[in-house]
């Protein structure tokens, strides 16, 4: 064979080999699905407790979704880096996730031994604004166990008072409810509100009485309360052309906060103003309130979703109240056991101890239900744990000595 032919075949062979290597490499890479989207394959594991494989599948899926987001946003770090900079990683990376799952498909579900279920998914992860991605919002709300929302707003429109528990929903409440419903949020039925709430209780909650807000939530089944005040009044002055046309300029101001009903934690706040002009003061005030409520709804929606995104794909805060604690020393011992015994616990903060009752705040990469289940199934010798009550963001337990 001629030398030049030999060299040509060698070049072709090398080119073909390089092409195959590149092809194989690209096949292993996550497929880009859009400018800010990436498709990844992720695995998650859930513990099979008391033979409940369905619950284990839910836990494994949640773990897989979280791992998918971590792959894309870069929160997966090398083990040596994690060991050397553990606290920095925990505080600054895991708690600030900036991606979310737009859609996913389950590839497989496999048992690993008798106690572990492994789920593999193919997920489309997106970076950026979550607010208008309705599919992703629906998935996120589902991952948060579809928290039920209730709106309580004291509205003054030209010195007229409207109460949701007295007559129909006022303008602000109506607009807020409609905007949140468009995003897929679940609301407590207004007829239930009207039938169970008393005027004094609502006014106390509006003024910041957390115990009353918690009582209202327990009566109605709401996990998130949107509480605040709205007022509309005629503006002094205004453009001369409006006054000459016999129109009144009206100004509306709305201040709202979204609160987790079971622990009182504020997850979002907003303050908005809007103006409208009309020949009738009441109509002008209503229009101004509607505009301000629309802006408030957009702002609150964005902030609530961002908060939930960080909890679902990062870490969430769970309030753990421990009753019947024998001594302060026992509380410290039990607190130290939690981080080793409960999956996903990152940090534990001691908030209070008095009258044999301790209050702990747990930062957890998991759900309240998962923590509650592990509290009653794990062996905390010499302590026996009894779960007294659970809600969306808090757990009450009672300790006894074995």
Residue partners of 259: CB distance under 8 A and separation at least 6: 213, 224, 225, 226, 227, 265, 266, 267
Can you give the pLDDT at residue 164? 40
* Pairing relationship of beta strands 148-157 and 186-187 according to DSSP bridges: parallel
The span from the CA of 363 to the CA of 315, in Å, is: 6
Do 374 and 390 form a contact (C-beta atoms < 8 A)? no
**Residue that is written with structure tokens 């609502």 in the block:** 202
Encode the chain (402 residues) as per-residue pLDDT tens digits. 444 444 444 444 444 444 444 444 333 344 445 567 889 999 999 888 778 888 888 888 988 998 888 888 764 444 444 444 444 444 444 444 568 898 999 999 999 888 889 999 999 988 777 777 888 899 889 888 899 998 988 888 876 544 444 434 488 999 999 999 999 999 987 656 655 666 666 767 777 777 777 777 777 888 999 999 999 988 766 566 555 556 778 899 999 999 998 888 899 999 999 988 878 878 888 899 999 999 999 999 999 998 998 888 877 889 999 999 999 999 999 999 998 888 888 899 999 999 999 999 999 888 888 899 889 888 899 999 999 999 888 999 999 998
User: Measured on CA atoms in the order 176, 182, 183, 185, is the torsion positive or negative?
Assistant: positive
The span from the CA of 336 to the CA of 334, in Å, is: 5
The span from the CA of 384 to the CA of 18, in Å, is: 63
Can you give the pLDDT at residue 192? 60
Can you give the pLDDT at residue 56? 85
The span from the CA of 150 to the CA of 224, in Å, is: 6
Q: Which residues of 16-46 are buried (b: 16+ CB within 10 A; e: fewer)?
A: eeeeeeeeeeeeeebeeeeeebbbbbbbbbb
Beta-carbon count within 10 A of 81 CB: 11
Name the pTM for this structure: 0.73
Structure tokens that stand for 219 in this block = 């009566």
Can you give the pLDDT at residue 123? 93
Q: What is the dihedral of CA 7, 12, 18, 19, to 10 degrees?
A: 170
Extended beta strands in 113-147, E state: 116-127
Can you give the pLDDT at residue 6? 47
The span from the CA of 147 to the CA of 165, in Å, is: 22
What is the DSSP code (8-state) at residue 393? S
Assign residue 91 a region: left if phi > 0, alpha if psi is -120 to 50, beta otherwise? alpha
């Amino acid at each position: 064979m001629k030398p030049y032919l030999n060299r040509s075949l060698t070049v072709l062979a090398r080119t073909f080999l390089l092409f195959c290597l590149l092809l194989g490499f690209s096949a292993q890479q996550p497929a880009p699905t859009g400018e800010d989207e990436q498709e990844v394959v992720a695995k998650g594991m859930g513990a099979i407790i008391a033979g409940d494989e369905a619950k284990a599948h839910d836990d494994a899926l949640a773990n897989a979704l979280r791992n998918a987001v971590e792959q894309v946003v870069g929160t997966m770090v090398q083990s040596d880096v994690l060991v050397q900079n553990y606290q920095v990683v925990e505080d600054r990376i895991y708690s600030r996730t900036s991606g979310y799952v737009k859609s996913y498909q389950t590839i497989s579900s496999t048992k690993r031994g008798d106690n572990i279920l492994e789920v593999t998914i193919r997920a489309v992860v997106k970076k950026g604004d979550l607010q208008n991605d309705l599919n992703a919002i629906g998935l996120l709300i589902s991952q948060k166990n579809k928290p039920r929302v209730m709106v309580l707003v004291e509205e003054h429109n030209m010195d007229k008072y409207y109460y949701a528990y007295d007559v129909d929903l006022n303008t602000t409440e109506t607009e807020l409810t409609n905007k949140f419903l468009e995003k897929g949020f679940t609301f407590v039925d207004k007829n239930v509100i009207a039938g169970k709430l008393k005027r004094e209780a609502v006014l106390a909650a509006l003024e910041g009485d957390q115990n009353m807000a918690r009582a209202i939530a327990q009566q109605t089944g709401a996990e998130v309360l949107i509480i605040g005040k709205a007022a509309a009044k005629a503006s002094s002055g205004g453009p001369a052309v409006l006054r000459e046309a016999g129109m009144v300029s009206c100004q509306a101001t709305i201040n709202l906060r979204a609160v987790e009903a079971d622990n009182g934690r504020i997850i979002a706040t907003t303050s908005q103003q809007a103006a409208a002009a009309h020949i009738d003061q009441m109509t002008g005030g209503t229009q101004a309130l509607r505009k301000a409520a629309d802006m408030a709804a957009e702002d609150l929606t964005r902030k609530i979703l961002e908060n939930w995104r960080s909890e679902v794909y990062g870490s969430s805060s769970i309030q753990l109240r421990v009753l019947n604690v024998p001594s302060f020393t026992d509380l410290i011992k039990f607190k130290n056991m939690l981080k080793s015994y409960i999956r996903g616990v990152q940090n534990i903060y001691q908030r209070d101890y008095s009258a044999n009752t301790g209050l702990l705040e747990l930062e957890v990469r998991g759900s309240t239900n998962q923590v509650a289940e592990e509290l009653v199934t794990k062996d905390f010798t010499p302590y026996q744990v009894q779960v007294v009550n659970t809600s969306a963001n808090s757990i009450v337990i009672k300790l006894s000595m074995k």
